[in-house]
Chain A
Amino acid sequence: MDKVLSSKRYIALFVVPAFLIFIAFAIIPLIVTGVYSFFEYDGAGEKIFIGFQNYIDLFVKDEYFIKALLNTLILAGASILIQLPISLTIALILAKGVKGEKFFRTVYFVPVVISSMVIGQLWLKVFNSQYGLLNVVIRFFGAKDFEYSWLSNESTAFLTTVVPSVWQYIGYHMLILYAGIKSISSDYYEAAQIDGANNFQVASKITMPLLAPVIKTCTVFALVGSLRAFDLVYIMTGGGPNRASEVPATLMYNNLFRRGLYGYGSAQAFFIVIECIVVSIIVNRIFKKSENNASAI
C-alpha cells in the first residue's frame, strides 16, 4: 500500500489539477497585483516603477483611505465586541441543551445563506428615513416627526452597513462555537461537578480554555471578514454620502474599474491582503500565548 501511496504518478494525478487551477486563477493574480502596486500604471500606457510611492500615497495623499481604514476597524471592533459575544452566549446556551436545540441551531444560520444583495435591500428599507422600520418604531414611541436619514447622513451611513454585517453572521460563528463546545469531553464536566464547581467556574476554568482554538478561528474569520468587507457597503451606500462610508475594498474597486488607476488601486488591494495575513498571524500568536499559559496551569 505504501508503494501506491508514494507513487509520484498518483500523487500528481490527485493533487496537481486542483493545485494548478488554484495557482493559476488565485495565487498568480494576487502576485501580479502585488507587482502592479509598485508601478504607476493606467492599463494602457507604460508602467513606470515608483517603488513604495503608491503605499506612501495611501497614507499621505489619499484623503479617503485612512477614513476607509478606520471604518473597517469600527466593523472589526463591532464584530469582536458585539457579534462574537452574542454568538458565544447563544452557543453556550444551546450546547447546554434546551428544548428545540436543533430548531434554533438551524434557524440562526438562515441569514448566512441569503445573498448580501437581498440582505442589503432589506436593511436599506429598514433604515429608510420616511417609511423605514427603525424610524417608524421611533415615531411610535413618541418622536412624532422623526425623519432622520440614517443612510444619507455622513455620521451614520457606515453604521447602517455595520448592523447587517454583524447580524448576518451571528449564526455562522454560533455554529462553529457550538461545535467546539460539543466536542469538549464530558469527563471534564463530571470531574468539575465532583469537585463542586459552580456554573461560572465551569465556564471560566473549563469551557473557555478548551474552547480557545475555536474562538481563535472565529476571531480570525471575523477580523479578516471585516478588513476585506465590500458587498454590503457597495450595495447599501456605495461608499457615500460624500465618501463617508468607504472601505478600502470599495475604494480599490473604484480606482481600478472606474478611474483606471491600476497601480494605485493594486496597492490598495495588496494592502488589504497584507493586512489580512498580518492580522491572522497576530491573532494566532496571542492565542498561542494564552494557550501556553492555560496549559501551564
Chain B
Amino acid sequence: MKAQKVNVKKGILTSILSLIALTQLFPLYWLLMFSLKDNVEISGANILGFPRVWRWEHYVRALTDSDIPRYFINSVIYSSVTVILSGLLAAMAGYGITRMKWKLKGAVFGIFVLGIMVPTHAALLPLFQVLDFLGLKGGYLGLVLPYIAFAIPMSVMILSSFYTAIPREIEEAAYIDGCGIMKTFVAIILPIVKPAIATSSIFAFLGTWNELLFANTLIDNGLYKTLTVGIMSFAGQYSTEWGLIGAGMVIATVPTIIIYFMLSNQVQQSIIAGAIKG
C-alpha cells in the first residue's frame, strides 16, 4: 500500500517536472517550426503545428541571398576573441589574486566584483565617445575591447573560487621539482581548474553572442554587424517574410545550444562545486 502511494506521488511529481520541461523546450520547437512556415501559417492559420509544407528554402535564402553568413562570421569572431582573451586574462588575474602574496589584492578583487553588479549600459556613452575619438568605433576592435572588459569580472570570480580550493602542496611539489611559475601555472594549475574555465567560457560566450545594446550602438556599418543585431534589423527590413527571419533566428540559436549541451556537464559540475555562490 505504502509503496503504491509513494509511486503515485512520484508519478505526479515527474509529470509536473515534465510539464515544466516542455515549457522550457517549447521555444526551440516553436522556433524551428516558425522558420519552416509561410506567413499565412505563422499569422493564424497554423500557429502550433508542423508546417504544412516544410519550407527549407528559407534557410537556402538566409544562407545564400542575405547578409546572415557575414553576420554569423562576425559573431564568431567577436565571441571567440572575447572568450579566449578574457579567459586567458581572467585566469591569470585570478591566480595572481588568490595565490600570490601582495597587499592590495583584496581591493583589486573587490573592484572586479563590483563589475558584476553594475549595469554595463551605464558605461555606454563614454565608451562610444572614446572609441570614436580613437577611431575604433564601428570596427571589430571597438566592440571586442568592451566585451573583454565586461567578461573579465565574472570569469575572475568563477576561477578564483576554484584556485582557492587547490591545496598549497600541489604548487609546492611543482616548485620543488624545479618548475617555474609559468610552467606551474600552465601545466599544473590550469588543468585543475578546467571545469571553471569551461564555465567562465560559456558565460563569456553567451554574454557576447547574445549581446544587444553595445552591438547595436557601437556598430553602424553592416560589414561588422553581429548576428543578433543583424537579425533584429532584418525583422524591420523583411517584416513581411517571417519564415526567413525565423531561419535567421535558428541560425543564431543553434551555436548557443550546441555549445551549451557540449559544456553543460562541466558547467553544472562547477556550479555545483560552488563556483557561483558569490
Measured CA separation A33–B123 after assembly (Å): 7
Measured CA separation A26–B119 after assembly (Å): 10
Closest to B102 in A: A11
Q: Are B24 and A228 in contact (CB under 8 A)?
A: no
The 10 A-B residue pairs with the shortest CB-CB distance in the complex, in nearest-first order: A14-B96, A25-B149, A228-B119, A18-B93, A29-B123, A131-B44, A115-B210, A29-B126, A18-B89, A32-B126
Minimum C-beta distance from A141 to chain B (A): 16
The residue that B90 contacts in the complex, of A18, A94, A100, A121, with Cβ under 8 A, is: A18
Q: Are B100 and A5 in contact (CB under 8 A)?
A: yes
The residue that B274 contacts in the complex, of A94, A104, A119, A183, with Cβ under 8 A, is: A183
Q: Are A15 and B210 in contact (CB under 8 A)?
A: no
Identify which of residues 247-286 in chain A touch chain B, using a CB-to-CB cut-off of 8 Å: 249, 252-253, 256-257, 262, 265-266, 269-270, 272-273, 276-277, 280
A-B pair number, CB within 8 angstroms: 261
Contact of A75 with B by CB under 8 A: no
Contact of B256 with A by CB under 8 A: yes
Q: Are A26 and B25 in contact (CB under 8 A)?
A: no
Contact of B206 with A by CB under 8 A: yes
Chain A residue contacts of B89, Cβ below 8 A = 17-18, 21
Contact of A150 with B by CB under 8 A: no
Residues of A within 8 A of B (CB): 1-2, 4-8, 10-11, 13-15, 17-19, 21-30, 32-33, 36, 90, 93-94, 98-100, 103-119, 121-122, 125, 130-131, 133, 136, 167, 170-171, 175-176, 178-180, 182-183, 213-214, 216-217, 220, 224, 227-228, 230-231, 234-235, 249, 252-253, 256-257, 262, 265-266, 269-270, 272-273, 276-277, 280
Measured CA separation A149–B115 after assembly (Å): 39
Measured CA separation A226–B276 after assembly (Å): 19
Identify which of residues 1-54 in chain B touch chain A, using a CB-to-CB cut-off of 8 Å: 10, 13-14, 17, 20-21, 23-25, 27-28, 30-31, 34, 42-44, 47-48
Measured CA separation A230–B28 after assembly (Å): 23
Measured CA separation A215–B172 after assembly (Å): 37
Contact of B124 with A by CB under 8 A: yes
Contact of B150 with A by CB under 8 A: yes
Contact of B187 with A by CB under 8 A: no
Measured CA separation A118–B234 after assembly (Å): 13
Q: Are B121 and A253 in contact (CB under 8 A)?
A: yes
Residues of B within 8 A of A (CB): 10, 13-14, 17, 20-21, 23-25, 27-28, 30-31, 34, 42-44, 47-48, 89-90, 92-93, 95-97, 99-102, 108, 111-112, 114-115, 117-127, 130, 145-146, 148-150, 152-153, 156, 171-172, 175, 180-181, 206, 209-210, 212-213, 217, 228, 231-232, 235, 245, 249, 252-253, 256-257, 259-261, 264, 268, 271-274, 276-278
Chain B residue contacts of A131, Cβ below 8 A = 42-44, 47
Chain A residue contacts of B175, Cβ below 8 A = 1, 4
Measured CA separation A93–B21 after assembly (Å): 14
Q: Apart from A29-B124, A103-B21, A114-B27, what 7 extra A-B contacts exist at CB < 8 Å?
A: A10-B96, A11-B102, A26-B153, A104-B21, A133-B48, A175-B268, A217-B278
